[in-house]
A and B are shown apart, each in its own frame.
Chain A
Amino acid sequence: MIDLLLEPLGFEFMRNALTMGVLLGVLCAVVGSYMIVQQMGMMGDMISHSVMAGLPISVYLGLPLSVGALAAGVLSAIALSGIESQSRLKMDSVMALILASFLAIGTMLVTILPGANRIDLIHVLFGNILGVNIADLRLTFSITVLILVAVFSFYKELLFYTFDPVGAQAGGMPVRWYYLGMVTAISLTVVANLQTVGVLLVIAMLVAPGMTAYLLVNELHHMMLLGTLFGALSGIMGMYLSYYLNVPSGAAIVLVSFSLFLVTFLLSPTQGLLTQSGMTQQLTQQLRRIWR
């Protein structure tokens, strides 16, 4: 058993990937918890796709990919807020339009801007955690520390803002800055995830650990702490599964994350589908009705 655990650690790429998995587990759980309580899950999806627009521009200007990705992510959220507040359109339809448009801009610029066609779109869409190097780890570590310090410093303000944004604004809090801080944090988290799971699966990394913890606890900081544990555990278990079953690492991490959610959804002591009184009976009756 010990050999099974130790063997992959003999490879540097696995050590890097596991470290990255744990770091992202922590980062995604904290940022994702805010997204869940603010019902901003789909905004995470929009931002993760929108970062694509910034990648070719980064290459063209000779900047690190993360700079363009961050700028495009934040810009998409500002565009969302601007359009939604200045029209009768609802948030979900505006998000759908921005997501597709920024993705289209990215795809088009890859072919138009000189040098941008060296961006590997498959790599960006699906990630490659096994290709993680020390520079990637440093970037993710820095983003994680930055966001943890920010959350620790502004915890009570963010709690107020995310629970009752109207009350927070009425109390004189600069809610626009908190919105900007929140979307910047989501964009930074997406940037950190680009290498690992890619833009298509990052949304699962962001919401799954927090959602699982949400079903077990009563307070936001407990949700973040427990989510961190689930996130890190998903990273480690996903990497081992990927190593031994020879399956894609990003997908393995996401599916472990989803499995943890599914088990909790069924068995959570307070909110589990099968643990609530009478729920099993109701479920059986419904299944019988469908069967007939």
Chain B
Amino acid sequence: MLQVQGLSVSYRDVLALQNINCEVAPGELVGIVGPNGAGKSTMVKAMLGLVNSAAGSIQFCGLPLSRQLLQVAYVPQRSQIDWDYPITVWHVAMMARTVHAGLFRRPSRQSRELVQAALERVGMYELRDRRIGELSGGQQQRVFIARALAKQANLLIFDEPFTGVDRKTEDIIFDVFHELKAQAKTLLVINHDLGETLNHYDRIMLLNKQVIAVGPKEVVMTAQNLQAAYGDALKFAAA
């Protein structure tokens, strides 16, 4: 069980997140939605200790999450990666096993098998010797999904995994999400899209600096909640 209690984040006296509380059970797929600047990425980064939180606690399976980062797989936004970096698909996926292998050691045979299986699952094993920058956006995202799978984590966090991907990749990613759910993994996904993709989630968290609503899609995505989260921006978008 992931438990977030009273999480607040501020950047130089500007409040980015205020008093976030939520619980996510094993085997649950939760989508986080909200307008640009709502603090979606900040929330997951604060949970992982990537940005300092002003207050709050984050526990996973009863212990502080910061002490069990090996249990976490995090897929960052595409914009955080330099796609011109000289590295092959295989080595990107193998990064999942870096901490497991330990210092001064090469990844074990088991690690190599896990990476191979993960790349095969997303249909990228055949392209394992390609430079990451030679792939399409969807293929690149699948490599990062494989990296998350190969980590064998219990909590998986994805920051806008559907940005710039093709339909095939989107289907593969949702299939993988459902498989991970079946394995009782806990999944948090930041989703930019407010369309049909939201049907895949067990619960939606609507965010704008604070939690506007959490629950099934039908309960959360009401006109009133959307107005509270997006204000007039959504009307303009709809028009």
B99 x A219 contact (CB < 8 A): no
Q: B-facing mask of A160-172, CB < 8 A → 1, else 0?
A: 1011101111111
Interface size bracket, A side:
20 to 34
A166 x B80 contact (CB < 8 A): yes
Partner of A156 from the list B49, B82, B101 (CB cut-off 8 Å) is B101
Interface size bracket, B side:
20 to 34
Q: B-facing mask of A236-258, CB < 8 A → 1, else 0?
A: 00000000000000000000000
A171 x B69 contact (CB < 8 A): yes
In the bound assembly, the distance between CA atoms of A214 and B45 in angstroms comes to: 32
Chain B residue numbers with a CB within 8 Å of A154 are 103
In the bound assembly, the distance between CA atoms of A159 and B12 in angstroms comes to: 32
A163 x B95 contact (CB < 8 A): yes
B86 x A153 contact (CB < 8 A): no
B95 x A160 contact (CB < 8 A): yes
Q: Is B213 an interface residue (CB 8 A)?
A: no
Partner of B98 from the list A37, A171, A223 (CB cut-off 8 Å) is A171
Instruction: Look across to chain B and name the residue whose beta carbon is closest to the beta carbon of A156.
Output: B98
A171 x B74 contact (CB < 8 A): yes
In the bound assembly, the distance between CA atoms of A154 and B76 in angstroms comes to: 23
B contact set with A: CB distance below 8 Å:
12, 45, 48-50, 69-70, 72, 74-76, 80-82, 85-88, 91-92, 94-95, 98-99, 101, 103-104, 106-107, 131, 151
30 A-B contact pairs sorted by A residue (CB < 8 Å): A153-B103, A156-B95, A159-B95, A160-B95, A160-B98, A162-B85, A163-B85, A163-B92, A163-B95, A164-B95, A166-B45, A169-B48, A169-B50, A171-B74, A171-B98, A171-B151, A172-B70, A172-B99, A173-B98, A173-B99, A214-B86, A218-B86, A219-B86, A219-B87, A219-B88, A219-B91, A220-B85, A220-B86, A220-B87, A222-B86
Closest 5 A/B residue pairs (Cβ): A172-B69, A170-B74, A218-B131, A160-B95, A170-B48
